[in-house]
Amino acid sequence: MTRILLIEDDQNIADGIIKGLSSHHFMVDWFSDAKLGEMAIDEGVFDAVLLDLTLPKGDGMSVLANWRKRGIDTPVLIITARDAIANRVAGLNAGADDYLVKPFALDEVVARLQALIRRSQGRSQSLISYGDVSFNSESQQVFFKGQLVDLTVKEIAVL
What is the predicted pLDDT for the residue at 124?
A: 47
| Higher pLDDT among residues 79 and 156, named by residue | 79
The pLDDT, as a whole number, for residue 122 is 66
Query: Would you state the pLDDT for residue 51?
Result: 97
Between 38 and 144, the more confident residue is: 38
Quickly state the pLDDT bin for 130 (edges 50, 70, 90). Answer: confident
Q: What percent of the chain has pLDDT over 70?
A: 93
pLDDT band at 146 (very low <50, low <70, confident <90, very high): confident
Question: What is the rounded distance in angstroms from the CA atom of residue 33 to the CA atom of residue 52?
Answer: 9
Which tens digits make up the pLDDT trace of 76-103?
999 999 999 999 999 999 999 999 999 9
Q: Model pTM?
A: 0.77
Whole-number average pLDDT of the chain:
89
Within 10 Å of residue 31's Cβ, how many Cβ atoms? 19
Instruction: Specify the pLDDT at position 44.
Output: 82
- Under DSSP, the state recorded for 94 is T
Ramachandran angles phi, psi of 115, nearest 5°: -65, -45
Q: Rounded to an integer, what distance in angstroms lies between the CA atom of residue 5 and that of residue 1?
A: 13
Q: Is the pLDDT of residue 4 over 60?
A: yes
The stretches of 51-105 forming alpha helices (DSSP H) are: 60-69, 85-93
> Side-chain half-sphere of 23: how many Cα atoms within 13 Å?
9
Decide if 109 contacts 22 (C-beta within 8 A).
no
